[in-house]
Structure 1
Amino acid sequence: MSRQFFGGSITVLLGLVLLAAAGTLHAEPMSESKPFAEKFLLLQLSDGEAEKQNKVLSVAANLLEYYGPDTIDIEITTFGPGVRLMYADNSRREKITSLMAQGVRFTVCMNTINTIERDTGNRPVLHPESIPVDVGVAHILDEVEKGYVLVHP
């Protein structure tokens, strides 16, 4: 009898180990600022057109309203002409600041900013709460690997 019990215990233990491993394979990213987030979204902005900037901001605002600001973690990553969204004098600054107050993060590709400075001789002044990243596209790849869903509106 003890042999049968021992074998059954190993089977149960092995099953628990497999369940635990399966849970870690599909783990969601952790957000320190949004510990209760269930959705993880990365919005890409690589276009400098006003219409595209408005669309990205609108998508973020709509999702915050739909899911609630505590259950969705949103980051907007800008690179190329999209960095214009994060210029300190952007006419959408009030909307950006409002989204930031609800936990939306805005990252800016410093590779693009350095290129602009090198080409024009002027370094753009950025929104003071923007988050610099070395290379925007590399940052996107890293966040997608962590489990963020990439959307390019």
Structure 2
Amino acid sequence: MFCRLATVALLSLAFASSALAADKAHRISIQIDQNDPQVMNMVLNNAANVIEYYRAKNEDVDIDVVAYGPGLHMLRADTSPVQDRIKRLKDMVFPGKIQFSACNNSKQGMEKTEGHAISVLPEATVVPSGVVHLMELQEQGWSYVRP
């Protein structure tokens, strides 16, 4: 009798665990720290592929592309070689499912070096520190990709 109860309890636990895993939100952060259009396009390809993969499975995914250092050029209004792709990707995704985070430390450093204010793309959000933002996302359970 005890063995049956233990078996039922274990099976119940297994079903509950798999149900919770199926409802788990998919969250991925992708860093860009290079001023290289090929790498920027690879980041956008990764994001688009992840979106399409989970869309085909009818599952949600949140993506945060974090740009810092020379990678900030990806999100600069005056130098981004991929700004049209960013707009298209942002428009294609349900609002709030993809975020582009621009490092304020990098932005301020570039402004000091270049001697003028720098604007980021309207699709981007400025975060205090790109590296700290990535670290905090990982601490919250986000997956991390560096192309």
Partner of 1:144: 138
Task: Give 2:26's aligned amino acid.
Answer: K
Aligned partners of 1:135 and 1:118: how far apart in 2?
A: 16
Partner of 2:84: 94
Contact 2:65 2:99 in 1 (8 A): yes
- Would you say 1:77 and 2:95 are equivalent positions? no
Aligned partners of 2:86 and 2:76: how far apart in 1?
A: 11
Task: Give 1:91's aligned amino acid.
Answer: P
Once the 2 structures are TM-superposed, how far is the Cα of residue 46 of structure 1 from its aligned partner?
0.7
Partner of 1:112: 106
Once the 2 structures are TM-superposed, how far is the Cα of residue 98 of structure 1 from its aligned partner?
1.9
Contact 1:46 1:82 in 2 (8 A): yes
Larger Rg over CA atoms: 1
Aligned partners of 1:41 and 1:96: how far apart in 2?
A: 17
Aligned partners of 1:99 and 1:37: how far apart in 2?
A: 24
Partner of 2:6: none
The TM-score with structure 2 as length reference comes to 0.75
* 3-state SS of paired residue (2:42): helix
Instruction: Say which is worse superposed, 88-97 or 110-119, in terms of deviation.
Output: 88-97
Q: CA RMSD in A?
A: 2.3
Give the percent of matched residue pairs that are identical in Structure 1 and Structure 2.
Answer: 28
Instruction: Say which is worse superposed, 114-123 or 73-82, in terms of deviation.
Output: 114-123
Shift in alpha-carbon separation, 1:37–1:56, aligned structure 2, 3 A: farther
Partner of 2:48: 61
Q: Which aligned runs of 4 or more in structure 1 are off by greater than 6 angstroms?
A: none
Contact 2:26 2:62 in 1 (8 A): yes
Aligned partners of 1:92 and 1:75: how far apart in 2?
A: 16
- Deviations for 1:1-60, whole angstroms, at most 9, x for unmatched residues? xxxxxxxxxxxxxx9xxx8xxx9xxx99xxxxxxx7731100011111111101000100
* 3-state SS of paired residue (2:126): strand
The TM-score with structure 1 as length reference comes to 0.73
Q: How many residues align?
A: 123
Aligned partners of 2:30 and 2:134: how far apart in 1?
A: 9
Where in structure 2 are the equivalents of 1:6-45 lying within 5 Å?
38-45=25-32
Once the 2 structures are TM-superposed, how far is the Cα of residue 97 of structure 1 from its aligned partner?
1.1
